[in-house]
Structure 1
């Protein structure tokens, strides 16, 4: 089974930086395969808890090299919930890569474990008679401190349902649970990786980046 690695996170940083410099990213240092995957960017400022800056991926298997290349940029630049990440934000960024595994149909909306399972919910909106769906990665519910019901209700809102949530409606939800392996890398760790393995850090807008900060004026 393919697992998420630091080289995958490095490749996402490489891809984002190549977007800013107009160059091609170095070739990936991991083998290709076909798996569902996600790329999540978070930003931490002044020692604060990292906050989400973009998260996009696919629940269907695809080639992981092209997948990480595509979603590194899509999640950073085209997540509709956030403005595009700018190069000046790089020192504060962390990247999490996720490989999704073990898809299973849950018996009901309570048949999953907080911190272990990610969720895909599908249901019919009773007000508009349309199908709605949404997903949370396995780490979301535990990070937020949510119960099973709070997670399901939040997912229903994420799917676009604005009506009254009843127990009867929850019981009609189709839930697919899944697991994931993930790796999180902060920009400072990325720079350390480059210095160790490539002997140099990248340059943005003509200025070399040292210890996560641009030099010069």
Structure 2
């Protein structure tokens, strides 16, 4: 299958903006202005990783279409400070971060829980938990590939992420509603951000 990796939406400036926003938040500075223009609305996720091994440090986003300036400003902070799996990011950690921005697109309903491709599609599942409540959970397209999971391992991990605690059976998996999607993703390290800031400040003189 031919790769369609020509980015049409995403730009490194979006990642620089996320760093600007978090830096301002951590240091109680005035919120920065975005250095990119985009008038369209998209679902998006912001992911922070830390250290040489790039451990996950926070990942939150929305499936609602948002203005990218507003969405990136909001989720830069939310993913760094309010991901319930982690403590809030500290100022000491800031120089060791990497940020990824994912713009989600091409949403399609899956025929069943296996109707998606590892490394190509992100998946969002909806399911009824053991208490009868409707729950949902998602993994971005890169997660299964990075973890080395097959499709069933990915689905089962996603059920656990969504809070399902009972035994997972083949019959139960068949009751899942799955939507697959693709994303444009770009990542920037703190070093690249610092280099960009130096270049930007030289351009302002």
What is the TM-score when the length of structure 2 is the normalising length?
0.92
Larger Rg: 1
Q: Distance in 2 between matches of 1:68 and 1:145?
A: 29
SS of equivalent residue, structure 2 residue 107 = strand
2:43 aligns with 36
Question: Of the candidates 10, 13, 24, which is equivalent to residue 19 of structure 2?
Answer: 13
Q: 1:177-188, aligned counterparts within 5 Å?
A: 177-188=180-191
Residues 1:23 and 2:26 aligned together: no
> Which sections of structure 1, spanning at least 5 residues, go unmatched?
201-217
Q: Tell me the matched-pair count.
A: 196
The alpha carbon displacement at 1:2 in A equals 5.0
Residue equivalent to 1:162: 165
1:150 alignment partner, one of 150, 153, 177: 153
- Partners in 1 of 2:109 and 2:101 — Cα distance? 24
- How far does the alpha carbon of each residue in 1:37-86 deviate from its partner, in whole angstroms, 9 at most, with x for none? 00000001xx4x11011101001101110100010001111111111101
Alpha-carbon distance in 1 for matches of 2:120, 2:200: 33
Report how far residue 5 of structure 1 moved.
1.4
- Give, in whole Å, the separation in 2 of the partners of 1:8 and 1:24: 18
Q: CA RMSD in A?
A: 1.4
Q: Deviations over 1:152-208 (max 9, x none)?
A: 0001111110001010111111000000001100000000011112239xxxxxxxx
For residues 1-217 of structure 1, what are the structure 2 equivalents within 5 Å? Answer: 2-32=8-38, 33-44=40-51, 47=52, 49-125=53-129, 127-199=130-202
The structure 1 segments of at least 4 consecutive aligned residues displaced by more than 6 Å after TM superposition are: none
Deviations 1:111-169 (A, max 9, x none): 100011000001122x3121121000001000000000000000111111000101011
| TM, length-normalised to structure 1 | 0.87
Q: Distance in 1 between matches of 2:162 and 2:137?
A: 5
Query: In 2, are the aligned partners of 1:2 and 1:99 still within 8 Å (CA)?
Result: no
How far apart are the structure 1 equivalents of 2:87 and 2:33?
Answer: 28
